[in-house]
Amino acid sequence: MFNDASHHPPAAAQGKQGPTSESSAEKVLNLLLAFSASGREMGTTELSVKLGLHKSTTSRLIKTLVNAGFLQQNPSTRKYLLGISAYQLGYTASRTLNARLLAVAHPYLYGLAQQTGESVAMEMVSGINIILASHVEGPSHLRFNFQQGEVLPINVAAGAKAILAYSSPDFVESCLQGEFKRFNDRTIVSKEDYRKLLKQVKAEGISYDRGERYEDIHAMAAPIFFADGSPKAAVIIAGPASRLTDSFFRSAVSPLKETAATISRSLDL
Amino acid sequence: MFNDASHHPPAAAQGKQGPTSESSAEKVLNLLLAFSASGREMGTTELSVKLGLHKSTTSRLIKTLVNAGFLQQNPSTRKYLLGISAYQLGYTASRTLNARLLAVAHPYLYGLAQQTGESVAMEMVSGINIILASHVEGPSHLRFNFQQGEVLPINVAAGAKAILAYSSPDFVESCLQGEFKRFNDRTIVSKEDYRKLLKQVKAEGISYDRGERYEDIHAMAAPIFFADGSPKAAVIIAGPASRLTDSFFRSAVSPLKETAATISRSLDL
DNA sequence: CTAATTGTTGCGTTATACGGAACATAAACT
DNA sequence: AGTTTATGTTCCGTATAACGCAACAATTAG
């Protein structure tokens, strides 16, 4: 009928043009971010309303994005989804950010190891696994030795708990696919118990391991966040149960949280 | 139909070289792709020469990209590197593409299982691990049962060999970090032997497992490629050694390769 | 300290990207 | 079948955003 009406005001007409009208460069990027946010397939019209652009503009931008490989069209639905260039870009970004995280974090890990006298490590997300990415051995003769690159069992690793406590339910569930391995009688093997524990960890901001893997090893961990608020890593203090008592834990909470927070901040620039 | 003739001289008549002078939207995307390609930190001048743009233009584009979080500036070097938005985008793209791969592949996996009478599966890359992503059980009563979601030992898994044979040396080495576990006396435990084997697999286009993990289980695999030519998955046929003899292998090479190639093609759109 | 290299604004001009509507295609109804 | 609604793409003249230039900052080198 008269769908053209469109008497909607010229969007932030006057009023000191706070958000200056977007450049076309900004428009492409916002278009990409729209996909990043929703993840769904979307059509031209849907995108145009979502971004407040004209269909014609949207159509042209999409064409550009498809040519560059950032979007592709699902032939059956005729809608668009993220393409291989977006994937490649993210892969490179991930490597870059991880490298930067490692470089930035190491001195702080070292400082924490000196301060606490125990071994310190950083665990990082890799796909749907959590791996041991970096470590600094403590000054003591009796200390825990981390194994670089190891894929960690998420039910016992303190860092994994800290990371998952702040992760999206979606991601948590994909990590919970496999069976939990039992290492000893303290090991958590029930998925239900584990989910409850994550809530507790999130409330405290710290996760603990009191011998759930190796009976004589205790550990504690705090999450590191990327600029978008997503937890991508954790700092872990680990050592012999005889030294990592509850009183040690209490005294180490602040330094640990502080270290993790400092690393998170340093990533933002 | 051709009322407008549209013989308007679009840029081709321009003295300027190149097909069509890039739109600014294309410029931003190319700028991003430049980072995707090199991965290094880069400054304004370097980027401007690399892309054939003026410094001023490049500077403005970079500013836009930084605002949108696609780039960030390393304060110590003052150069730019990929930012959190690029990372998020890639993460979403990866989920999208994986979902699409699973959806597209399944019917072909099923077909191959019917055709060969054996269990068929697809392994996919996840971070620096290779996981079992999807499987179809064969019709026979005695068959191999895949374990969904399992992180596979790359030294024995046939699919892992197929994927790594075509992967970048960089990626291969990051996967080779940990120790190879020995399952039996056929298991490959030497990294050197493994690297040699990968070359052979690449030459043949197929990888085999003749009881390297479970002595009575044989398997073969062929890689699946994304549109950019990167191997992100593999199709695997597995079953009892008694049936997966060399003669079975010979007869299954073509169907297996064909299935993998068909899936790869279907992803391109 | 000067010279050289790299990075960031102003400004006037020109080409680029926009909005509107026609055109085209596909799905939804009867 | 035919008709209607929804969705997507192309064309064109015009306004404006983006460009190149060159001066200006800010570092680094000599």
The residue with greater pLDDT, A29 or B2, is A29
pLDDT tens profile B137-181: 988 888 898 988 888 999 999 999 999 999 999 999 999 988 899
Q: Which residue has the tokens 């000196």?
A: A114
Q: Which of residues 12-51 of B touch A (CB under 8 A)?
A: 23-30, 32-33, 35-36, 39
pLDDT of residue B37: 86
Per CATH, the architecture of B24-82 is what?
A: Orthogonal Bundle (1.10)
Q: Is the pLDDT of residue A109 over 90?
A: yes
The dihedral of CA B78, B79, B80, B84: what is its sign? negative
pLDDT band at A27 (very low <50, low <70, confident <90, very high): very high
Strand partners, B123: B132, B234
Q: Which of A10-14, A218-222, B8-12, B141-145 has the highest mean pLDDT?
A: A218-222
pLDDT > 90 in chain A, percent: 76
Given a contact cutoff of 8 angstroms between Cβ atoms, the answer to whether B236 and B159 are in contact is: yes
Q: Is the pLDDT of residue A19 over 50?
A: no
Q: Is the pLDDT of residue B108 over 60?
A: yes
pLDDT band at A269 (very low <50, low <70, confident <90, very high): low
Class of domain A90-268: alpha beta
Å separating the CA of residue B2 from the C1' of nucleotide C17: 25
pLDDT band at B7 (very low <50, low <70, confident <90, very high): very low
Q: Does A154 touch chain B (CB under 8 A)?
A: no
User: What residues have CB less than 8 Å from B32, skipping those under 6 apart?
Assistant: A89, B65, B70, B82, B86
Given a contact cutoff of 8 angstroms between Cβ atoms, the answer to whether B71 and B61 are in contact is: no
Question: A89 vs B128: CB contact, 8 Å cut-off?
Answer: no
Nearest C-alpha of chain B: how many angstroms from A4? 25
* CATH number of the domain located at residue range(s) B88-268 in this protein: 3.30.450.40
pLDDT band at A16 (very low <50, low <70, confident <90, very high): very low
C-alpha A163/C-alpha A124 separation (Å) is 9
Q: Is the pLDDT of residue B213 over 60?
A: yes
pLDDT of residue A90: 92
Q: Which residue has the tokens 């054996």?
A: B118
User: What stretch(es) of chain A map to CATH 1.10.10.10?
Assistant: 24-82
- Which nucleotides in chain C lie less than 7 Å from some protein C-beta? 5-10, 15-21, 23-24, 26-27
pLDDT tens profile A228-251: 999 999 999 999 999 999 999 999
Q: Among B114-118, B230-234, B263-267, where is mean pLDDT lowest?
A: B263-267
Taking alpha carbons only, the member of B234, B181, B173 closest to residue B208 is B234
Q: Is the pLDDT of residue A89 over 60?
A: yes
pLDDT of residue A22: 78
Taking alpha carbons only, the member of B247, B251, B185 closest to residue B213 is B185
Q: Is the pLDDT of residue A3 over 90?
A: no
**Mean pLDDT (whole number) for A60-85:** 92
**Mean pLDDT (whole number) for A41-67:** 93
Given a contact cutoff of 8 angstroms between Cβ atoms, the answer to whether A137 and A129 are in contact is: no
pLDDT of residue A2: 28
pLDDT of residue B12: 32
pLDDT band at A214 (very low <50, low <70, confident <90, very high): very high
**Mean pLDDT (whole number) for B9-16:** 32
Question: B227 vs A83: CB contact, 8 Å cut-off?
Answer: yes
Phi, psi of B20 (to 5 degrees): -135, 135
Helix (H) or strand (E) holding B33: helix B24-38
Select the residue from B21, B23, B27, B28 to test the A interface by mutation, using most A Cβ atoms within 10 A: B28
Q: Is the pLDDT of residue B21 over 90?
A: no
User: What stretch(es) of chain A map to CATH 3.30.450.40?
Assistant: 90-268
Q: Is the pLDDT of residue B4 over 70?
A: no
Nearest C-alpha of chain A: how many angstroms from B170? 11
Strand partners, A73: A80
What value does the mean pLDDT of chain B take?
Answer: 89
Given a contact cutoff of 8 angstroms between Cβ atoms, the answer to whether A262 and A108 are in contact is: yes
In one-letter notation, the amino acid at residue B65 is: L
What value does the mean pLDDT of chain A take?
Answer: 89
Residues with CB under 7 A from strand D: A 1, 3, 21, 23-25, 43-46, 55-56, 59-60, 62-63, 78-79; B 4, 6, 8, 24, 27, 53-57, 60-61, 78
Q: Is the pLDDT of residue A196 over 90?
A: yes
User: What stretch(es) of chain B map to CATH 3.30.450.40?
Assistant: 88-268
pLDDT band at B64 (very low <50, low <70, confident <90, very high): very high
